[in-house]
Structure formats: structure tokens, C-alpha cells
Amino acid sequence: MAAHLYPATHARPAGLSTDLDFSTEQLSGVLELAGQVKQSRQRYASALKGSYIALLFEKPSLRTRMTFELAIKQLGGDCVTQIGPIADREPLKDVARNLARWVDAIVARTFTQETIEELGRWSGLPVVNALSDLYHPCQALADMLTLKEHFDKLRGLKLTYVGDGNNVAHSLLLCSARLGIHCSIATPPGYEPNAQITARAQELAKISGAQIQIGNDLDAALKGAHAVYTDVWTSMGQESEAAERHKLFTPFQVTMDLLAKARPDALFMHCLPAKRGLEVTDEVMESPQCVAFDQAENRLHAQKAVLLTLLQ
């Protein structure tokens, strides 16, 4: 069903540990497939019949857990879920090798990227990164699908991210750079995205024609933006930094005045959960420009496309 995603020069991806595990052609194909799945749910209702997937969650989750469980079941498969530290009682490599005997794939939401990569190394199964400290590829796929639905195109759009240069920012950079989306990121000094990931995005942007802009100037970043995106200022595991981050990030709060510095038709995007009154005001969250819940819905469809890509 998803065979069209694999031209001769691009073998089926082994997993989705990072955004770059899918070639640019496969990235575009997954977005196309996600749109098809969204429009024709019944067509894919038995696509994963007989497939069983382990969901491992070291971090609390609403959208990720619900959408993956629903995606698997709506595709005809089934899943088992473990919540808590993955390698608390035994070495990670032993956990992975046990899972390899029982299931067809692993979806993991972890504190570290190393955990994702070790699960793949020791299990030999397709592993989907459902969030790590470095990447959030499934979120970025849902975001790209949302932009495509609202603007009917991706190439040439400008996406501006403001706030913490975190895992979400990294995945948005890598996806935008390959799809021809101009991506501007504005952060407080010292909170810019990972330098190596930024450099890789800039290399990829040269191929697609996208422009990558990283800096601390909000006005420059917002000028001409089709979408303004933010995330929480303090991620899980960074609670001790919350007070200091609040002081530094307050100028980056997305208000209606800040949003007005972008295009008149600019969307507001957030991966959720939103801390209203911190990174975004309640007024913006409730405005017609907010598409955060479209993004949340599209997690389901994008993840279905990922699972089909890896298991079909």
C-alpha cells in the first residue's frame, strides 16, 4: 500500500530515530500518505492486521500515547504499553532483545536520544522516536501536514519558531530545510538550537532553496512569517531552570501583538501542552489563528503514515 514511497535508490527506512532516517523523497511520501489515510480511514483499516507494537513511555503523555494507540488499532494492529523507566530493572540491551522476540516494532518516548538508538541497535526492530531530548520527528510531520492543509503548499512558506531551541525546533529545522520552507528561529541568547543540527539543516537548505535564520531578533524572525510556532519554556527534566528561564523568555511570549508582526494570515502553532500565560497568552490560544488542535489531530494521521511506511 505504501510501496510508492521506495524508489530504487531509497530502501525502506529501518526506523525513525531521527528526522533524517527518512530520505527527502520518503518524507514527502509520508506526508502524501498521511493525507490519504486521513481522507480514507476505512481503506487502511486492516493494513497492520497481525502486527503488534510495543509503546515505551519514560515521560508522561496525552497526545503521543493516545494517537499512537489509536493509530495502531485503527490500522488493524494492536499494542502493549509500558510507562516508566525503560531500563530500570535490567540493561537496556536486554529489554530490547526481549521485545524483539515478541513484537514487530517499538515506539519510544524517552529522556535521551541514546535510548532510542540503543533500542534499535539491540532489537533490530523498526524504532519510532516518539520524543527524545534531541528530536520530535512525529510532531514535525504532523506540523508539516497542518501547514500543507492550510496553505495548500509547503515550498516557499516561512515558519517562525520563537522560544527554546529544543527538540521540536530541531525537527522543524530539519523538515523545513528539506521541504523548501524558510525557517527562522528566535531564542534568548544561549538557548539557540544545537549547532550541529543547525549546520546540517543549513546544508540541506542549500539543496531545497530554503533559508535558515537563527538568532535573537524577534522582529526579523517574524517578518513575513506564514506561521508562528512556540513550545513550553521549560521541558520535562528542566524544572530546576524554570525561574531563570521565565525571566529570559518573557519577551518571547506569543501575544496578539507579537503575532501581528507576522503576515496578516499567519497561523499560530503549538505542539501542546500549552502553558497559557507563559509562552503563549490565552487570547492567542483561543484566536481563529490558532491551529494547535489541528496539529494534535494530525499526529494521528502522520503516525499512521509512519507505521505504514515502516511495516507495510
- As a whole number of angstroms, the distance between CA 36 and CA 51 comes to 21
Average pLDDT, the chain: 95
Class level of CATH domain 3-135+298-311:
alpha beta
pLDDT tens digits, one per residue of 240-255: 888 999 999 999 999 9
Which entry of 271, 290, 301, 303 is annotated as an active-site residue?
A: 271
Which entry of 231, 270, 290, 295 is annotated as an active-site residue?
A: 231
Q: Is position 65 annotated as part of the catalytic site? A: no
DSSP state of 16: B
Q: Is position 200 annotated as part of the catalytic site? A: no
Which entry of 109, 178, 245, 270 is annotated as an active-site residue?
A: 109
Q: Is position 299 annotated as part of the catalytic site? A: yes
Q: What are phi and psi of 281, to 5 degrees?
A: -85, 160
pLDDT tens digits, one per residue of 165-222: 999 999 999 999 999 999 999 999 999 999 999 999 999 999 999 999 999 999 999 9
Q: Is position 150 annotated as part of the catalytic site? A: no
pLDDT tens digits, one per residue of 99-142: 999 999 999 999 999 999 999 999 999 999 999 999 999 999 99
Q: Is position 271 annotated as part of the catalytic site? A: yes
3-state secondary structure of 168: helix
Half-sphere exposure of 222 (CA within 13 A, CB side): 27
| Topology classification of domain 139-295 | Rossmann fold (3.40.50)
Q: How many CB atoms lie within 10 A of CB 171?
A: 27
Question: 139-295: same fold as 3-135+298-311?
Answer: yes
pLDDT tens digits, one per residue of 230-242: 999 988 778 888 8
Q: What number is the average pLDDT over the span 262-284?
A: 98
> Would you state the pLDDT for residue 10?
55
Domains in the chain: boundaries = 3-135+298-311, 139-295
Q: Is position 109 annotated as part of the catalytic site? A: yes
